Structure 1
């Protein structure tokens, strides 16, 4: 049964409290119109603008926000271990294994309680890299997202022996299949939930030549992947049910140096370009046949790598600095 509410029934303190709450709501609302971004999102003023992590020589490449535990998970090119970072800048080792020469891209499959890490050897880890592994490693490490224990390790490079490899980034579809880019070979790998690995797509158009090729990758709810190629800034649309029918997205903005990708909405993609020291906001109105830049965030004299969503409204980009840097930073993106 519904009951009508009266301030008299609620007591003498109800009205003042109601007024205070209403006034606060009005005050906050008055701040919002000027903060609404073109994609319709509103930045949260209560999340930190920047987190400085005083952990030396980590040189992280990948980042994911773990909402359940209110922490960032970051990889390490120089040490291989995966770290957990809190808003106060504290860092602790979350996961490690001798096979983690360099960890690059991360993907948190929270619903299945998995953390996936792309494993490579670009020569940055002096303690674990060997002549036999240098530019030869493409691995996928899968951890328990709660305690960091290693559940499985998949050797993707074995699918194409005799080639150079660098596993870079990971996307996960609705069925839990993982897709991993290789920056040195023109290949996207697929690993199903049972750990079976295969070559999902191999094509000369995906090659970076003598440079860095495929990099960031994300799964779009429309049933396709969006994949960036660093050397020329190409952005590809790859249907998961017919990868050979992939197409290149026509983009108005140069995306040369593209690294991490983040789908903010089905029509909005964030692209980190380390070479251009910028995070670009790119929008499409035709299911990613074409796209145009609608905003940018300049990072300054730093080569940003990857980006993660913290909430419906906030995205944070990773500033790794150098391999010998005494710190790294996680910075909230604000588009111009």
Structure 2
């Protein structure tokens, strides 16, 4: 796979600004149970979303009197790990460094904008003579959802005061307390994957087998996951002809798995037991990017290309051709990732497609090929899932799943809710399992740099 191309696409396609203002959600809250390195519970921190800010209340016991640096760290792991500064294993090193979504790479004051300092930089915890520290503060540096979301990250309390300037952690010393920030009263389930470089982009569900399929954007490996037990097996090894990457996935009525091949410009069709049956190649060009596909009620498969302004069609006899040239239509291709997620309406009349770099969803008439803009402003919109007249949108960099209510003719949409689940890491695509949704936590923003959270995972959660 052309990884440098993918990095360029991510940098361009994720830089969109503006968007739809979502309606006020139900209050979000979370709790971190604070433990010492021996695992003893010695405090609690609570988080409550209040508009654009978060109210944080912390109580910790058994600390020395005076100031203690306090920060949100990147990973939701309160385990020992390597401190890069000393190359030694330290308590709570598994929490990683400070949460820094703006990539400031700078420790700063808790009031500093995130482009200048870590989003995880918080006020100090002041501890009294009795060894108990209590602190309540409001912050807009981090949130419980969105770009600065801290769900499933860690709150760490250090041994020393924070000077608010020295990298990487303000000379705050050892990590003495740690708690994972877990959303309150929310049922969800993870499906961990075994590989250290999985980057799961696509997901599809075969209800007859009770199996979820997910594919790696890094190497094209496809896994089969038992949706009931969570057991994972390798369905098809990556690197097969035409499949250096596996993006959008769909299961057809014959139980075959269709795979969008990304920068290779291919569509692969796999048998129910994982053998490659056929690889369809789109026309050669310098920049193909086959992103997603959908089985329509008319028996055809429709395929999006994120760089070339064309929608392809595969007929039931497995012949691929350009079905709709988008040049001169309302869908204007620009820099970055253009059309990606695609679904078909159950009446067989329309396709709905997401354009990531503009935030627009488009309705395409399968009879007349007329194109209508359904809704705009869904920046970083990636994969789609249509459930009746409800459209779910995985918004990768925004780290939420958005819910859009569609009109009877699918020609208009209203954003009604945004769901961060228990903390999403670049969600890419969605599948439905009964009354639940399953989303991939693709972490494609870490594909060319940074440290991904492992194990990679899919997350199953109730429809909302």
**1:1-336 to 2 correspondences below 5 Å:** 49-87=189-227, 88-96=229-237, 97-109=240-252, 111-121=253-263, 137-144=264-271, 146-156=272-282, 158=283, 161-204=284-327, 205-222=330-347, 223-243=349-369, 245-251=370-376, 254-265=377-388, 267-299=389-421, 300=423, 302-311=425-434, 313-321=435-443, 322-323=446-447, 325=452, 326-334=454-462
TM-score for the superposition, normalised by structure 2? 0.54
SS in 1 for 2:216: coil
Q: For 2:407 and 2:262, how far apart are their aligned partners in 1?
A: 36
| Higher deviation after alignment, 199-208 or 175-184 | 199-208
Aligned partners of 1:275, 1:186: CA distance in 2, in Å? 23
Deviation string 1:125-162 (CA, Å, 9 cap, x unpaired) is xxxxxxxxxxxx21110111x21111111101x1xx43
How far the C-alpha of 1:98 sits from its partner, in A, is: 3.1
Question: What secondary structure, in the 3-state scheme, does the structure 2 residue paired with 1:62 have?
Answer: strand
CA contact (8 A) 1:295 1:335 kept: no
Cα RMSD after superposing both structures = 2.1
Gaps of 5+ in 2: 1-186
Runs of 4 or more above 4 Å deviation: none
Deviation at 1:190, TM superposition (A): 0.3
Q: Which blocks of at least 5 consecutive residues in structure 1 are unaligned? A: 1-46, 122-136
Could you tell me how far apart the structure 2 residues matched to 1:305 and 1:250 are?
19
State the SS of the aligned residue for 1:287. Answer: coil
Greater share of helix residues, 1 or 2?
Answer: 1
* 1:267-300 C-alpha deviation (Å, 9 max, x unpaired): 1111111122111111123312211112221153
